[in-house]
Amino acid sequence: MTEAEQYICIGCPIGCPLRLEHEGDKIIEISGHDCDRGAKYAKQEFTEPRRDFSTTVAISGARWNRLPVKVNRQIHKDRVMEGARIIHELQVEAPVKLGQVLIKNVFGEEGIDVVACRTMDRVIS
Ligand code: SF4
């Protein structure tokens, strides 16, 4: 039996409404996209939806008390909450450099790291 999923493409501000028809795991047709990026996005959303993840964590010894951080690669949508819990337990001590790895292989997956999004020097009081 053919079923359909609906998505809104996030590839550009147009936001094409996408329709993906499938039979179980098998994609039958993708429609509604004005360019190939939309079809690629719908396929990705259906097969393995992934998300960027960025937030802030506590930092001590710096001018500000929150440090912006991000995961350096998109993570599976189902792991976002797990990632949030892990990252929010992080306590960082200044100084920190832009791009510095704060948690390596965050989900036990090689190459998925939490990194600092800015440099914060140590404040000497
Ligand atoms: S399908 Fe192409 S034109 Fe439409 S929203 Fe996505 S990127 Fe933009």
Q: Going residue by residue through the chain, which has 125 residues, state the pLDDT in tens, using 9 for 90 and above.
A: 899 999 999 999 999 999 999 999 999 999 999 999 999 999 999 999 999 999 999 999 999 999 999 999 999 999 999 999 999 999 999 999 999 999 999 887 788 999 999 999 999 66
What letter would DSSP give residue 24? Answer: T
Q: Is 10 in the pocket of ligand 1 (CB under 6 A)?
A: no
Burial of 31 from C-beta contacts in 10 A (0-12 / 13-18 / 19+): middle
Nearest ligand 1 atom to alpha carbon 32 = 1
Task: Name which residue sits closest to atom 3 of ligand 1, judged by CA.
Answer: 34
Domains of the chain: total = 2
Return d(Cα 55, Cα 69) in angstroms, integer. 6
Q: Is 9 in the pocket of ligand 1 (CB under 6 A)?
A: yes
> What pTM was computed for the model?
0.79
Tell me the Ramachandran region of residue 109: left when phi exceeds 0, alpha when psi lies from -120 to 50, beta otherwise: beta
90: its two tokens: 């992080």
Q: Is 98 in the pocket of ligand 1 (CB under 6 A)?
A: no
Residues 105 and 83 in one domain: yes
CATH number at residue 60: 3.10.530.10
